[in-house]
Amino acid sequence: MRKIIFIVIALLLFSCAIFIYLNNRPSTVIAVHQLGNTAVILVDHLPVTNSAKIQWWYSHIDSITERYHLVADRPEGMFFYAVYAFDKGYQKEGKEDRLCFDEMTPPENCVDKNILLQMMPWGNGEDKFYFGSATYMANKNGDIRRIYDPVKIVEPYEK
């Protein structure tokens, strides 16, 4: 019986360690593409939890905007941000559902549509974050609250 308890505790500790690692490992921005007032940000990965993703966003958006020279066509700033996983890198368009970038030379100018995070500035210092079925309102002060929004954004950009 003690052996089973020891194994269960060891597995729980191992699982917690893996989760903490995955949620806190550094994320790398691979590239950024601007499509009108939409910024498409390609990353290797993001943290596991939605709140950690939002914190990552606020700690990196200023440096991303500066480094990749994101300039909005409208005075309010960018209208929409989408963060995609850069899993398999740039690929040919093919028959798969991929987002392609016209400013890049084909054939390898597309990425899989694996959206990790979508953000829209909402006004009053708040931003709206979309994660699949979950929607959050947040601000730079760390206030995060889940909201139930019937409007879901599926694709930030379509040709």
Q: Place 159 in a pLDDT band, splitting at 50, 70 and 90.
A: very low
Q: Which tens digit of pLDDT belongs to each residue from 84-102?
A: 999 888 989 887 888 998 8
- Can you point out the beta strands (E) in 67-138? 80-85, 98-100, 110-112, 115-123, 126-131, 134-138
User: Could you give the count of Cα atoms lying within 13 Å of 40 in the half-sphere of its Cβ?
Assistant: 23
Tokens of 130: 């979309």
Mean pLDDT on 77-85: 84
Read off the pTM. Answer: 0.82
Contact between 81 and 38 under an 8 Å Cβ cutoff? The reply is yes
User: 78: closest CA among 40, 38, 117?
Assistant: 38
Contacts of 93 (CB under 8 A, 6+ apart): 100, 106, 107, 109, 110
pLDDT at residue 77 is higher than 80: no
